[in-house]
């Protein structure tokens, strides 16, 4: 096979100024300072979104009722990572989890600590390990730990 000439191009993502829905995220982060997890609830079907959404996917109506969910929940799925997002090996395997918090209908992704991979299972009960100092950031919730 003959080699052809290679020329370069780029997609300058830096030239974009995005506007993303942020209300629900802001609501959740504000309340995380007080170790509370607050989302929005659809009064028609009862679905609770966390982070909150301004409308309900199922009913296609605007929702603004706030709903607090527990910081305890159930592991809906998990995985044990041996490399990071770019494929570089990790020093120690890391457990990532998808958790459905009690009272909520969305799955939250996070990292699992204080638990060995062999002791993990779908359906495990977990709770949030809150950071001592909280500032309204996603880091306020350090990790999930066994209940």
Partner 1 sequence: MMRNVGIIGVGYTPIFVSKRKDVSIPEMISEAVDAGFRNTGLTPEDIDAVIFGNMQTFEGVNLPHLWAVEHIRALGKPVMRIATGGTTGMSAFHAGYYHVASGMADVVMVVTYEKHSEGDAQVGLMGIITPEVMTMLQAGIDVTGGSGMGAIGGGSAGGISFQAMSYLNHSGASIEHIDAMAAMERRNAAKNPYAHLKDPECTAEKIAETAMVSYPIRFGHICPTTDGSTVCILASEEKAAELADKVAWVWSVANCCSDATTGNLVDGMITDPAEQRPCMIAARQAYERAGIEDPKTEFDVIEIYNGFAHQTLMFLEKLGVCEVGEAHKLLEAGELEIEGRLPTNASGGVVSTNSIGTSALNRVTEAALQIMGKAEGGHQVPKDVHKALAHSWGGLMQYVAVTVLGDTPPRK
Partner 2 sequence: MDGKVAIAGYNISPCSSNMVTSRERLLFDLTTGLFEELGIDRDAVDTFIIATNDFLDGRTISNVFLDPPIGAYMKDETKVEMDAVNAIAYGWMRILTGQYDTALIVSLGLCGHQISPYLHIDYTLDATYDRQLKLLNELSAAALQAGSYLGKYGYPAELLDEIAAKDLGNAALDPYQARRLDGISAEEVGKSRYLYEPLRELHCYPPTDGGCVMLLASEDRAGELTDKPVWILGMGRSIDKYYIGDRDLAVSPSTTQAAKVAYDMAGIKDPAGEVDLAEISSIFAHQEPLLAEALGLFEEGKAVDIYSSGDSAIDGRLPVNPSGGALGAHPICSTGLIRMAEAARQLRGEAEGNQVKKAGVAVAHGQDGMCAQQNAVVVLGI
Contacting residues toward partner 2, per CB under 8 A: 5, 7, 9, 11, 13, 15-21, 54-55, 57-58, 60-62
3-state secondary structure of 29: helix
3-state secondary structure of 135: coil
Residue with smaller CB distance to partner 2, 5 or 86? 5
Interface with partner 1 includes 66 (CB under 8 A)?
no
Handedness of CA 64, 67, 68, 69 (dihedral sign): negative
CB of 147 to partner 1, least distance (A): 17
Interface with partner 1 includes 133 (CB under 8 A)?
no
CB of 80 to partner 1, least distance (A): 4
Interface with partner 1 includes 70 (CB under 8 A)?
no
CB of 59 to partner 2, least distance (A): 9
Select from partner 1, partner 2, none the partner in contact with residue 55, using the beta carbon and a kind-dependent cut-off of 5 to 8 Å: partner 2
Distance CA 106, CA 25 (A): 13
Residue with smaller CB distance to partner 2, 44 or 116? 44
**Which backbone phi and psi does 117 adopt, to 5 degrees?**
-50, -35
Can you tell me which residue has the tokens 């120690």? 92
| CA angle centred on 96, ends 33 and 116, rounded to 5° | 105
Distance CA 74, CA 100 (A): 5
Distance CA 3, CA 27 (A): 55
Interface with partner 1 includes 59 (CB under 8 A)?
no
* Total of residues contacting partner 1 (CB under 8 A): 59
**Which backbone phi and psi does 92 adopt, to 5 degrees?**
-130, 145
Question: Which residues bind to partner 1, rule: CB under 8 A?
Answer: 1-4, 9-11, 13, 16, 18, 20-22, 24-25, 29, 39, 47, 49-51, 53, 57-58, 76-87, 90, 93-94, 96-98, 104-111, 117, 122, 137-143
């Amino acid at each position: 096979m003959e080699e052809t000439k290679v020329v370069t191009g780029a997609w300058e993502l830096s030239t974009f100024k995005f506007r993303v829905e942020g209300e629900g995220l802001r609501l959740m982060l504000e309340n995380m300072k007080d170790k509370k997890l607050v989302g929005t609830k659809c009064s028609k079907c009862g679905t609770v979104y966390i982070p909150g959404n301004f409308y309900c996917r199922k009913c296609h109506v605007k929702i603004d009722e706030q709903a607090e969910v527990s910081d305890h929940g159930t592991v809906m799925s998990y995985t044990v990572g041996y490399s990071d997002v770019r494929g570089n090996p990790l020093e120690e395997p890391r457990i990532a989890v998808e958790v459905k918090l009690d009272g909520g209908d969305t799955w939250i992704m996070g990292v699992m600590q204080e638990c060995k991979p062999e002791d993990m299972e779908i359906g495990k009960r977990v709770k949030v390990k809150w950071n001592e100092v909280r500032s309204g950031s996603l880091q306020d919730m350090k990790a999930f730990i066994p209940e």
